[in-house]
Amino acid sequence: MLDISVIILTYNEEIHIERCLNNAKKFAKEIFIVDSFSTDKTVEIATEMGVKVYQHPFKNHSAQFKWGLENLPIKTVWVWKQDADEYLSDALIEELHNKLPNLPDNVNGLTAPCLRIFMGRYIKHGIIPLILLRLFKYKYGNVENRIMDEHIQLSQGAIVDLKYPFYDDNLNGLTWWITKHNGYATREAIDLLLTEYEVYENLVVNSGEHASAVRKKKLKYIKMPLFWRAFAFFFLRYFIRLGFLDGKEGFLWHFLQGWWYRTLADAKVYEIKKICHYDKEAIMKYLESHYDIPVYKKLTNVNMGGVKQPYKVFVPFAIRSLEWRGGRYA
C-alpha cells in the first residue's frame, strides 16, 4: 500500500460506505472516518470492515476536515481527502502506484479530475471536469476556512496533475438531492454575499491552476445580475457546451444543478438584501444574528497538519446555525 492516509467525512452514508472503503483499501495504508454521529449503519459497517471511526460534531465541511487533520493519529506522508460517495478509478489507482514513489521531493500536492455521475449516468457534456487538489503531504496541507467551495491549500511546494479521474457518484434519490441542495443554497447565498463584500480573501492560494481559475470565474459570476446569471449559466452548459447530448439525465442535472439551485441561492441573496435594504453593514449584522457568522479576523498562523505555517486567510469564529441536522443543513 502507498504511504497515504484517507480521511472520509460521514453522516448517514450506509448506502455508500462499503463501496468507498473497498476502493480506498486498494491504495491507502490508513483509512480514517470522521463521523457526525450517524443514525444509520455507517459506523457499524465501517467498524466491521476494520476502519477506525472518530466522531465529532459537525459545523461545516471545512471545520470538520480541519479537525481531522489536527486530531487524527496520522503517521503517513500523504493524505487523500475523499467524500463517502466518491471512488477512484482503477486507472487513477494504478497511476498513483506508479507515480507517487518517484515524485521529486519538492512536490507536495497532486490534483485529479473529478467526473460526475447523476442518476446512474456519467455527465460527459456541459461541464468542465473539476481538477481538485485531493492528495497532499500532511505537514504542508490545510483546508480553506469557507462556508462553501473550500479548497485544499499548500503552505509551500509544487503541485503535479494526475491524468486519470475519480468519480462523484451519489446513490441517493432526487428527493434527498433536492433537500440537500436547499441547504447548500443557503450556504451558497451566504458565501456569495461574503465574497461580494470581500469578507473573504477570495484568491485561491496554491491549490492548483484549475482551482484558481474556477474561483476567478466565480468572482465574475458574482458581478452579473441576480437570477439572470443562473439562467445564463444553464444556457451556457446545456446549449453552448452541448449538455443536451446526455439525454434526460443531462437535462435534469443542468436544470437542477445549473439553474434551479443557483436561482434558489440568488433568491436567498435577494431576500437578505431586501430585508436589509441593500445596506452592507445591515447585511453583515443579519448574517451574524441569523447564521452566527460574526466578525471575521485575519490569521497569520494556520495549523498545517500539526505544523504552524505563516498563512493569511479569513476565518469565522463559528458557524453553528449551519450544522448538519437530520440529513439536512439547518
How confident is the model over 222-243, as pLDDT tens digits? 999 999 999 999 999 999 999 9
Q: Which pLDDT value is given to residue 322?
A: 43
Q: Which pLDDT value is given to residue 130?
A: 92
Please state the pTM of the whole predicted model.
0.87
Q: 155-192: per-residue pLDDT in tens?
A: 999 999 999 999 999 999 999 999 999 999 999 999 99
Please name the residue that has the C-alpha cell 438531492: 177
Q: How far apart are CA 171 and CA 12, in angstroms?
A: 13
Q: How far apart are CA 90 and CA 167, in angstroms?
A: 11
CATH superfamily of 2-169: Spore Coat Polysaccharide Biosynthesis Protein SpsA; Chain A (3.90.550.10)
Q: Which pLDDT value is given to residue 201?
A: 62
Q: How far apart are CA 290 and CA 322, in angstroms?
A: 10
Please give the average per-residue pLDDT across 134-154, as a whole number. Answer: 92
Q: Which pLDDT value is given to residue 287?
A: 92
Exposed / middle / buried, residue 167 (Cβ in 10 Å: 0-12, 13-18, 19+): middle
Confidence class for position 205, pLDDT limits 50, 70, 90: low
3 state SS of 94? helix
Q: Which pLDDT value is given to residue 313?
A: 36
Q: Which pLDDT value is given to residue 122?
A: 97
Q: How far apart are CA 83 and CA 64, in angstroms?
A: 12
Q: 40-58: per-residue pLDDT in tens?
A: 999 999 999 999 999 999 9
3 state SS of 204? coil
List the domain boundaries for the chain. 2-169, 174-329
CB count, 10 Å around CB of 61?
18
Q: 238-280: per-residue pLDDT in tens?
A: 999 999 999 999 999 999 999 999 999 999 999 999 999 999 9
Please name the residue that has the C-alpha cell 468507498: 20
Mean pLDDT, the chain, rounded, equals: 88
Q: Which pLDDT value is given to residue 311?
A: 35
